[in-house]
């Protein structure tokens, strides 16, 4: 095992400023002593190769923290890889089929969600599948043509690509949008898997949250888009919505249909994206150029809950400077308490790469590192006291 240690004690006062649609104000100052250690561990795949093409983004951690499930998105032979995190090896692969009674419609999956009984959901953002550990399909739900009781989306609307499960795996919460996904999400949709009910509600603030969007067209048909990402997280009857383009959290209560929000200040990164972008491009060269330009923007990641420390973690980054043709970023790790008050910001080394996917196990933050097409996890072990 290659182990690197880095200890950085910090004494820092952080002001968390808050705003609310319901005039709630929780502004306050928190002082913490913060240190962390870093090590890197390799996963032994034996004679196999773990599927790293999609940076382990279609994955989930088992409830006991012992296993990490990674779907082989886009592979010729799709399957679900089970990595033993106790022994750091590839234990086995659950094969998936594209034909027959246990078939999935596509080798491209967007979400994996593990249930406490060992079954798991796979979603390609169009169909939700429930499987057991042997790869037998228990059920299938097509979002656009479901038979759940309750509301029905109008034909001109569709379920969006962002999805989140509640803690028990009984509800899928997602956005809905226009059919061609040319605009920001229009509202929230909920599939109650236990009671087989569906409802949706418009949420106008979603269009306000999106900081830019550029659609790429060929012959007047949208074939690509750039936009600031939305993130969904459930907590009880609340849906926490954030956007990669601003340092804010929005809290939507599914029962009361009420919205509140909190805005935060950072000593390292801008509050939001302020640069304007064209709404439409018809040239691939211009589209690719804009993609490169957006990489300079501030980018806030999703929230990751840490049950051992009882905090939420979030990675963020923003361009610091150019080093030749290379972008050098300010990389930041932020901690929030269970009430989503900001506790601490930690500036990480400039060679740190903000991960596409991160998870917390036994109080350590795991991020994926590709080392010569082999899987490694960089583990951050934080320690702090108020």
Q: What is the pLDDT of residues 21-63, one digit of tens each?
A: 443 344 334 567 889 999 999 999 999 999 999 999 999 999 9
Report which of 32, 2, 10, 17 is spatially closest to residue 265, judged by C-alpha positions. Answer: 17
**246 exposure class (CB count in 10 Å sphere: 0-12, 13-18, 19+):** buried
**51 exposure class (CB count in 10 Å sphere: 0-12, 13-18, 19+):** buried
Mean per-residue pLDDT for 89-100?
A: 97
Place of tokens 């004494």: 11
CA 188 – CA 209 distance, rounded (Å): 14
Reply yes or no on whether the pLDDT at 2 is more than 90: no
Report which of 143, 137, 195 is spatially closest to residue 166, judged by C-alpha positions. Answer: 195
DSSP 349: P
Q: What is the DSSP string of 154-214?
A: -TTEEEEEEEEE-TTS-EEEEEEEETT--S---EEEEEETTTTEEEEEE-THHHHH---EE
End-to-end CA distance of the chain: 33
Dump pLDDT digits (tens) for 161-191. Answer: 889 999 888 999 999 999 999 999 999 999 9
Tokens standing for residue 266: 């950072």
| 1 three-state secondary structure | coil
Contact in structure between 12 and 45 (CB atoms under 8 Å) = no
* pLDDT over 90, % of the chain: 85
> 252 CB contacts (<8 Å, ≥6 apart)?
188, 203, 238, 239, 241, 258, 259
Dump pLDDT digits (tens) for 357-381. Answer: 899 999 999 999 999 999 999 999 9
pLDDT band at 310 (very low <50, low <70, confident <90, very high): very high
CA 221 – CA 182 distance, rounded (Å): 10
- The predicted pLDDT at position 386 comes to 63
């Amino acid at each position: 095992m290659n182990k690197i240690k880095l200890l950085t004690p910090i004494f820092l006062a952080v002001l968390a400023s808050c705003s609310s649609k319901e005039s709630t104000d929780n502004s306050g100052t928190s002082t913490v002593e913060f240190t962390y250690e870093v090590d890197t561990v390799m996963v032994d795949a034996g004679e196999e190769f773990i599927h790293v093409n999609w940076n382990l983004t279609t994955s989930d951690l088992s409830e006991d923290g012992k296993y990490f499930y990674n779907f082989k998105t886009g592979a010729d032979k799709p399957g679900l890889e089970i990595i033993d995190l106790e022994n750091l090896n590839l234990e086995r692969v659950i094969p998936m089929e594209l034909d027959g009674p246990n078939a999935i419609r596509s080798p491209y999956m967007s979400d994996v969600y593990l249930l406490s009984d060992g079954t798991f959901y796979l979603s390609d953002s169009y169909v939700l599948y429930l499987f057991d550990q042997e790869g037998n399909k228990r059920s299938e739900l097509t979002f656009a043509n479901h038979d759940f009781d309750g509301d029905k989306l109008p034909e001109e609307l569709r379920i969006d690509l962002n999805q989140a499960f509640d803690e028990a795996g009984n509800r899928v919460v997602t956005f809905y949008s226009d059919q061609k996904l040319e605009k920001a999400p229009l509202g929230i949709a909920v599939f109650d898997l236990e009671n087989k009910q569906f409802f949706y509600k418009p949420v106008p603030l979603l269009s306000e949250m999106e900081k830019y969007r550029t659609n790429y067209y060929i012959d007047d048909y949208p074939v690509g888009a750039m936009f600031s990402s939305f993130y969904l997280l459930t907590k009880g009857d609340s849906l926490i919505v954030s956007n990669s383009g601003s340092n804010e959290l929005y809290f939507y209560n599914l029962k009361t249909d009420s919205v509140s929000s909190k805005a935060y200040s950072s000593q390292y990164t801008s509050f939001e994206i302020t640069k304007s972008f064209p709404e439409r491009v018809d040239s691939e060269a211009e589209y690719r150029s804009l993609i490169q330009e957006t990489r300079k923007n501030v980018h806030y990641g999703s929230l990751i809950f840490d049950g051992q420390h009882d905090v939420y973690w979030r990675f963020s980054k923003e361009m610091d400077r150019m080093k030749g043709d290379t972008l050098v970023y300010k990389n930041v790790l932020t901690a929030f308490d269970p009430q989503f008050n900001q506790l601490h910001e930690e500036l990480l080394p400039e060679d740190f790469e903000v991960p596409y996917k991160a998870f917390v196990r036994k109080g350590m933050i795991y991020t994926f590192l590709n080392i010569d097409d082999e899987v490694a996890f960089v583990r951050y072990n934080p320690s702090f006291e108020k």
